[in-house]
Amino acid sequence: MNDFEKQFQQIKDYLKYEDYSVLLKRVIDLTLDTEELVFYIKTNDLLDWLDNNPENKEEKQLKFEQLLNELYAVLSQKKRVESELLISAEQIEKKYSSNRFSLGPVNLSLKKGEILGLVGENGNGKTTLLRLLAGELFATNGNLTYHFSYDDLYDLRTQLVYIPQRTQTWYGSVFTNLEFAASNYGYKPQENTLVVHLIMARLGLRKFRNFAWKDLSSGFKMRLELAHMLLRKPKILLIDEPLANLDILAQQTILEDFKAIAKSPFRPLGIVLSSQQLYEVEKTSDQVIFLKNGAQKNLHQKEINANENITSHYIYEFETPWSKDQLMALFGNSLIDLQLNGGVFIATFSEEITPDVFLKIMVNQSVPVQYYRNITNSTRRFFIA
């Protein structure tokens, strides 16, 4: 079973369990993957039908199933895009004459279908690195290589999308703005409006299509920038603090959207995103770079998910009303270090106290735990004072 077949099976599960909100997004993704006008029309017809028949579950199920079968028949024959290197940086640095801040050296590589997360406290170089990758700044030292062809800096910038934390003001309604953008990106007249409607629905902008910039929340302004990105079909998306000003549910939703968009078998792209939401970024990213005073530390997702510990000890973060004295008495010599950091305990143990052993001790001794996380292979450990 290839990647597309695995993804399609998951989409069929959404249909089976009537998870229509996620299902609709994935159907739109598949529709855009076809790049065929006939499917743009079919899926737009489905959107219109759903607007007028929100409670008709039986017919809804049939319509989704029929469209999915048609999409599968076409896409299962379409050539999938292989993963390939998009960008690499070797020992890049950015220094300023004032010596107030310097970034690097930083090493990284990003392939199609990968998400790279940038984490670190404010003022530690995340935005500087994004602007270097976007071509807005030039490195003082090191080599930054784009592994795809381009004619000049302008042509390069057309294949990158950089979305800063503060988006620019735009004019007109959401719909007319996107329709104008689509015409500039080369969409044919007969597909322009259809694709715009699909992308608005994909990003939850459909009911806001007649809103102006001033009428949208900051979170939906960011979604509009993502809509521009999907219309433009870049190779790389660079986005600064996309989770800022979003509630927890919206954060999880947008990160799942990033993952689905990046890992399309037919239109994959590389994504680099910065965020303060450490846990959410680590769940979504294939690799994570931590920046502290401009210096780099890497953490790959394979290390986060590793069955075997990559260090000689374990580190757990947890919250409990028990005191430090009580915990130290409980764990004894197996405890290497115990800190209270940001209202939670950070405990470092010898390698014998594996996650299952730690949890058994907590349960057997009836230690009340409000929160627990194994951060042995998480960048969270870099934030500990």
CATH (domain of 190): 3.40.50.300
Q: How confident is the model at residue 370 (pLDDT cuts 50, 70, 90)?
A: very high
Strands 313-319 and 287-292: unpaired
Considering the domain architecture, whether residues 237 and 312 belong to the same structural domain is answered as no
Full residue range of the structural domain in which residue 319 is found: 308-383
Is 275 within 8 Å of 243 (Cβ atoms)? yes
Per-residue pLDDT at 359 exceeds 70: yes
pLDDT more than 70, % of the chain: 96
Q: What is the pLDDT of residue 385?
A: 59
Domain-terminating residue out of 75, 99, 119: 75
pLDDT digits (tens, 9 = 90+) for 13-58: 999 999 999 999 999 999 999 999 999 999 999 999 999 998 888 9
Q: Is residue 80 part of a domain?
A: no
Is 31 within 8 Å of 195 (Cβ atoms)? no
Is 120 within 8 Å of 286 (Cβ atoms)? no
Per-residue pLDDT at 305 exceeds 50: no
Query: Whose structure tokens read 């406290």?
Result: 121
Q: Is residue 126 part of a domain?
A: yes
At 69, which helix (H) or strand (E)?
A: helix 57-75
E-only strand ranges, the chain = 85-95, 102-111, 115-119, 141-146, 160-163, 236-240, 270-274, 287-292, 295-300, 313-319, 335-341, 344-350, 371-374
Considering the domain architecture, whether residues 192 and 107 belong to the same structural domain is answered as yes
Considering the domain architecture, whether residues 15 and 162 belong to the same structural domain is answered as no
Considering the domain architecture, whether residues 169 and 220 belong to the same structural domain is answered as yes
Considering the domain architecture, whether residues 319 and 377 belong to the same structural domain is answered as yes
pLDDT digits (tens, 9 = 90+) for 236-278: 999 999 888 788 888 888 889 999 999 999 999 999 999 887 8
Per-residue pLDDT at 346 exceeds 70: yes
Considering the domain architecture, whether residues 275 and 363 belong to the same structural domain is answered as no
Q: Which residues, other chains included, contact 162 with Cβ-Cβ below 8 Å and sequence gap of 6+? A: 130, 131, 134, 136, 238, 239, 240
Hey, which residues does 109 pair with through a beta bridge?
Answer: 88
Considering the domain architecture, whether residues 159 and 182 belong to the same structural domain is answered as yes
Q: Which residues, other chains included, contact 41 with Cβ-Cβ below 8 Å and sequence gap of 6+? A: 194
Closest to 127 measured CA to CA, from 143, 154, 103, 151: 103
